[in-house]
Structure 1
Amino acid sequence: MHVYRLPVSRHYAGSFPDLLRCWLCFLLLAAWKVTQLHIKRRYNIVHVHNIPDFLVFSALFPRITGAKIILDVQDVTPELLSIKVKGARKRALLKQLATWQERLSTGFVDHIVTVGWPFERLLLQRGVPCDKMTIILNSAYPPLFPIERRPPLPTEDVHREGRPFILMYHGTIVERYGLDIAIRAVALAVPHIPHLRLDITGASAPAYIDFLRELTEELGIGEHVVFHEPIPLEELTDFIVHGDVGIVPYRNDPFADLLLPTKAYELAWLHRPIIASGTSAMRSMFRPESVAFCDPTRPESFADAIIDLYRHPEKRASMVVRASEDYEPYRWELMAKRYEQLLAALSKR
């Protein structure tokens, strides 16, 4: 694999006009680079990741000269952008424009890869043909998450002896992923679990992480919430297996409802019980017996699930077995094979 870096600064925390300028700048630089490389190498396939979808037009020259183009829909742009602006009229206008560029982009490409059934359903509703799409989930990568690192199943309650009962969250720390919900749930559960602790790691929006720190102090649970610096990928398994339960407290909004979080696959693969918001996407992947689903609008729902799993280690054990079964058809090796078959079909090899 060769990586060609382009001189573009990313402005994810800035205003939408700043973000749009960043996207357009990258589109132009990427189009120039891809054209240069294609002249030298004559690619069979150009695979473009959104967001935004219109980055597919960076592959215009390869498309004209016979290459096949894949658009990888990691996020549905209209739903994502609609939660980034305030005001109903602005939100409606931005969603309409995002839907229009999505339609142009999906029409331009030869095939679309997406990461789950909720995204596929939306694209079908917006006119993308079924035979033009392939679902390839973002599975847990075995070399980073070796199966031999799975902890033994919980068989008895050892936490009453004073060892901390550890909740963990790993991943991006922004408002839509609901860490404030998890922190409020911890505050409600601490009277029932004196040794409860929530460990958090990941890249964060500075303003939101400051808010979370202030919230823990305001709730009087500073010693029960630990903010870790972002850790390298090769150390992520250590973080996951050190805890007792993983928590995925996504907010109740049109975008988060569609997300299939990779962290849930990693937790299921490494036999860690999962407490999660009962979103449409999560329920499409896991059975109710596999994950403790909660109401994302009520921290009390998460607190009840934390207390229940703390008191019943046998339930935690049965959940991890079932979640692992649910994940089995979507393992990395199977998704990789599906991707290889797609590339072979598009390149006629």
Structure 2
Amino acid sequence: MTMKRNPKSVLAIAFKYYYQDPRIQRQLKALVQDGYVVDFICPHDEHVVYPNIKNLHFIKINVKKKRASKLRYMFEYLSFFTLTTLKCIILDFKKKYGLIQIFVMPELLAFCVAIPRLFGVRVLMDWEDPAYEVYLSKFQNKKSLFSFFLQVIERYAIKMVDEIITPNEGFVRAFVARGCPREKLNIITNSPESDIFDPQKVNVFKSQNGQYTILYTGTITKRQGLDIAFRALRNLKDKSNRFRMVVVGDGEFWPEAQRVALDLDVYDHVNYLGRVPLETIPKLILESDVGLIPNRNEPFTRINFPTRILEHAAMRVPIAAPELPGILDYVDDSSVCLFEPENAEAMANAIFELSRNPVKQQQLTENAYKIYQQMTWERMKEEYLQIVKNVIAGK
């Protein structure tokens, strides 16, 4: 069964807050800039003022994200799924979308479009985070009936959609290994917007007080390893009193990481800013001497390529990161200051040696910038919009 559809009308669905996900922001803005009218179904946050963007309409589902336990996860997902499925059917019947785009995880969202799919709507899935690896990382690599359930949902979600985009090669390998056809997958890298991440557009005064500033940005969960970074800071403090760390972001693991910093007597060397607007990040990067990704060696982090690497590359500031496969797919020790994962001493030594070698800092930033130029958002945007057009046209 099919119906006549509007090729410039798009319904987007995500169980994520718009303001917390730059990837969603980039893609939805690209759509409206290219002449599409977009309805976006997302969780409601009463504490946030949503942006007023022409032809982008927010449809808020009243489900709060707390994520305290497995049962809470399931309750949130199922509640959002049920309400979104009903909303999706009603909206598609009224507006006859040319495309429905789903941002996952959870992969369960792919089933929200089952009824509209019967009536001919085309479906694009942005597989930004694989729920299976995220689950294993969050719950200490414990395979269970629930993890098996996630894999079953994943297999059927792949069949429910016409095309898939995903951020990096590590994710592609994982999906193909679990049965996803390679020809269905397209890589749209998590590249920062050059309008925001441009050192020429940021006015900053960098203090010459001799301090060496390490910058951490991002969500604070256990797998991000901020507690390991604080142990490295303790090691650095023993070498020199000039090292400082700026922490930007929030998350469930912050109280525990904070306790580690207090116990190690390094909290006076930490400046915790909490969550800040995306537009503030470039200035913070330029004010720092090195960025830091202290990720643990876990199922998700092993296949992920953090956006922060490209953000620092765009701003010409070096970054230190663990030697994990997803990172090594794109960079090596000529472009990033690498260290052994989960090794606070190795992390500290790498940063300490970098702090004493301005020539190496310059080499890293130059080489990282060359890599960034191959995957700017301008390039990714063109590829993304072409994929959208092809999916709508049934190519």
TM-score of the superposed pair, with normalisation by structure 1: 0.92
For residues 201 and 212 of structure 2, the distance between their equivalents in structure 1, rounded to whole angstroms, comes to 20
Q: Pick which of 321-330 and 92-101 moved more.
A: 92-101
Q: What is the CA-CA distance between 1:37 and the residue it aligns to?
A: 1.6
Aligned residues: 338
Q: Is the 8 A contact 1:82 1:92 kept in 2?
A: no
CA change 1:287–1:86 in 2 (3 A) is closer
Identity of aligned residues (%): 27
- 5+ residue gaps, structure 1, are 153-157
For residues 213 and 54 of structure 1, the distance between their equivalents in structure 2, rounded to whole angstroms, comes to 34
Q: What is the CA-CA distance between 1:210 and the residue it aligns to?
A: 2.0
Query: Of residues 80, 99, 103 in structure 1, which corresponds to 2:151?
Result: 99
Q: What is the CA-CA distance between 1:56 and the residue it aligns to?
A: 1.0
Amino acid at match of 1:300: E
CA change 1:141–1:269 in 2 (3 A) is same
CA change 1:151–1:187 in 2 (3 A) is farther
Q: Deviations over 1:69-99 (max 9, x none)?
A: 11211111111112333684xx243322111
Q: What is the CA-CA distance between 1:68 and the residue it aligns to?
A: 0.9
For residues 75 and 262 of structure 2, the distance between their equivalents in structure 1, rounded to whole angstroms, comes to 38
Query: Of residues 161, 164, 179 in structure 2, which corresponds to 1:112?
Result: 164
CA change 1:126–1:45 in 2 (3 A) is same
SS of the aligned residue for 2:213 comes to strand
Q: What is the CA-CA distance between 1:144 and the residue it aligns to?
A: 2.2
Q: Deviations over 1:169-213 (max 9, x none)?
A: 1110111100111111111112323211010010221xx222222
Amino acid at match of 2:58: V
Query: Paired residue for 1:11?
Result: 66
Q: What is the CA-CA distance between 1:296 and the residue it aligns to?
A: 1.4
Q: Is the 8 A contact 2:294 2:342 kept in 1?
A: no
Query: Paired residue for 1:277?
Result: 322
Amino acid at match of 2:197: F
Query: Of residues 123, 128, 141 in structure 2, which corresponds to 1:74?
Result: 128
Q: Considering fraction of residues, name the structure with more strand.
A: 2
Amino acid at match of 1:331: T
For residues 267 and 109 of structure 2, the distance between their equivalents in structure 1, rounded to whole angstroms, comes to 44
For residues 321 and 140 of structure 2, the distance between their equivalents in structure 1, rounded to whole angstroms, comes to 27
CA change 1:331–1:87 in 2 (3 A) is closer
Q: Pick which of 51-60 and 222-231 moved more.
A: 222-231
For residues 278 and 85 of structure 1, the distance between their equivalents in structure 2, rounded to whole angstroms, comes to 23
- 1:337 matched to 2:382? The reply is yes
Query: Of residues 82, 106, 110 in structure 2, which corresponds to 1:52?
Result: 106
Q: What is the CA-CA distance between 1:24 and the residue it aligns to?
A: 0.8
Q: What is the CA-CA distance between 1:103 and the residue it aligns to?
A: 0.2
Query: Paired residue for 1:155?
Result: none
Amino acid at match of 1:95: S
- 5+ residue gaps, structure 2, are 1-55
For residues 335 and 316 of structure 1, the distance between their equivalents in structure 2, rounded to whole angstroms, comes to 28
For residues 298 and 305 of structure 2, the distance between their equivalents in structure 1, rounded to whole angstroms, comes to 14
- 1:172 matched to 2:229? The reply is no
Query: Paired residue for 2:362?
Result: 317
Query: Paired residue for 1:130?
Result: 182
For residues 317 and 240 of structure 2, the distance between their equivalents in structure 1, rounded to whole angstroms, comes to 19
For residues 84 and 309 of structure 1, the distance between their equivalents in structure 2, rounded to whole angstroms, comes to 32
Q: Is the 8 A contact 2:291 2:317 kept in 1?
A: yes
Q: Is the 8 A contact 1:248 1:277 kept in 2?
A: yes
For residues 166 and 279 of structure 2, the distance between their equivalents in structure 1, rounded to whole angstroms, comes to 26
Query: Paired residue for 2:86?
Result: 32
SS of the aligned residue for 1:255 comes to helix
Query: Paired residue for 1:248?
Result: 293
For residues 216 and 376 of structure 2, the distance between their equivalents in structure 1, rounded to whole angstroms, comes to 21
- 1:200 matched to 2:247? The reply is yes
For residues 151 and 258 of structure 1, the distance between their equivalents in structure 2, rounded to whole angstroms, comes to 35
SS of the aligned residue for 2:238 comes to coil
- 1:41 matched to 2:82? The reply is no
Q: What is the CA-CA distance between 1:3 and the residue it aligns to?
A: 1.0
SS of the aligned residue for 1:186 comes to helix
For residues 149 and 166 of structure 1, the distance between their equivalents in structure 2, rounded to whole angstroms, comes to 21
Q: Is the 8 A contact 1:165 1:195 kept in 2?
A: yes
SS of the aligned residue for 2:247 comes to strand
Amino acid at match of 1:113: I
Q: Deviations over 1:240-288 (max 9, x none)?
A: 1110100001001111111111111111111110100111111111122
Q: What is the CA-CA distance between 1:324 and the residue it aligns to?
A: 0.8
For residues 95 and 245 of structure 1, the distance between their equivalents in structure 2, rounded to whole angstroms, comes to 37
For residues 197 and 149 of structure 1, the distance between their equivalents in structure 2, rounded to whole angstroms, comes to 26
SS of the aligned residue for 1:5 comes to strand
Q: Is the 8 A contact 1:151 1:271 kept in 2?
A: no
Q: Considering fraction of residues, name the structure with more helix.
A: 1
SS of the aligned residue for 1:168 comes to strand
Q: Is the 8 A contact 2:172 2:185 kept in 1?
A: yes
Q: What is the CA-CA distance between 1:147 and the residue it aligns to?
A: 4.4
